[in-house]
Amino acid sequence: MFSFIRTGCRAILEVLFPRCCMACGCKLQEEEQVVCADCVATLPRTEHTLLEQNGVDMLFQQLFKDEKCRVRYERGMAFAYYNRGRGKNLRALIERGKFGNHPHPQVFYMLGRLAAQEYIDVDLWDDIDVIVPVPLHPKRLRARGFNQAEWIGRGLSDVLHIPMDTEHLVRTRNNPHQSRSRFEKRKDNVQDVFSVRYPEEWKNKHLLLVDDVITSGSTMLACMKQTTPIRGCRISVFALGWAHN
Ligand SMILES: [Zn+2]
């Protein structure tokens, strides 16, 4: 009886408020969550894991050289192109998920899970001890209500069964909105923005640093720099979007 009423209510709600794909706006099928199957299938994967050294690795190696810093970097990947062709879908998803009328953390969780499921067998995750999302400043966290990197991390963590750590890496300064900053200015904006609490906890640990998009790489670099004094601490990186061609 109750399940009959529940099904009826759900059907009425579906008619009044149809669930729509966050990328293309089409009506979602019952089994689809947040994004339609077609949009999921057409996200332009970078296939970074097939390359000996991919764009993410090269970007960070160059930044370490430019900034003369000694990060114990292992490897990295981004899941899909952020700007290219149908990659606009990924951009739309990330922007609507973060800034839309109804910001939606579930989209980040879903994409984190998807990436982990698709690449479950690659060595990117090998011997990772802990997933560390790039933190938001508490002020911005309060304004948005969630940290998208944390939800991506949660999706990865649930599939890969690797714990997530949101306690040790903290953002101590709230920098201006990055997407509105110019590239060079952005670089300065993130210097000394992060710090690590109880760094000894990360001794000899291999961290997977997670963010939504890699553009200049300066945000992740600023996080990584904080780990250089920690003995034996190694870093790999993962992002959903790769804003380079
Ligand atoms: Zn769609």
When pLDDT is cut at 50, 70 and 90, the band that residue 48 belongs to is: confident
pLDDT in tens, 210-227: 999 999 999 999 999 999
Whether the predicted pLDDT of 45 surpasses 50: yes
pLDDT at site 180: 46
- 45 C-alpha to center of ligand 1: Å? 16
What pTM was computed for the model?
A: 0.86
- CA–CA distance, 191 with 67 (Å, rounded to integer): 11
- For residue 201, the model assigns a pLDDT of 96
Lookup: tokens for 171: 């953002």
In the chain the domains, ranked by start, together with CATH numbers, are: 48-242 (3.40.50)
Instruction: For the chain, give the mean pLDDT.
Output: 86
What pLDDT does 10 receive? Answer: 56
pLDDT at 97 > cutoff 60 = yes
* Gap from CA of 32 to ligand 1 centroid (Å): 10
Determine the Cα–Cα distance for residues 112 and 1; give it in Å rounded to an integer. Answer: 37
The CA 115 to ligand 1 mean position distance, Å, reads 17
Distance from residue 106's CA to the centre of ligand 1 (Å) = 15
DSSP letter at 51 equals S
Ligand 1 center from residue 16 Cα (angstroms): 20
CA of 64 to the centre of ligand 1 (A): 38
Amino acid at 22: M
Question: How close is the Cα of 208 to the center of ligand 1, in Å?
Answer: 29
pLDDT confidence bin for 113, thresholds 50/70/90: very high
Whole-angstrom CA distances from 168 to 20, 47, 130, 135, 174 are 37, 31, 11, 10, 17
Question: Ligand 1 centre from 81 Cα, in Å?
Answer: 17
- Between CA 191 and CA 189 the distance in angstroms is 6
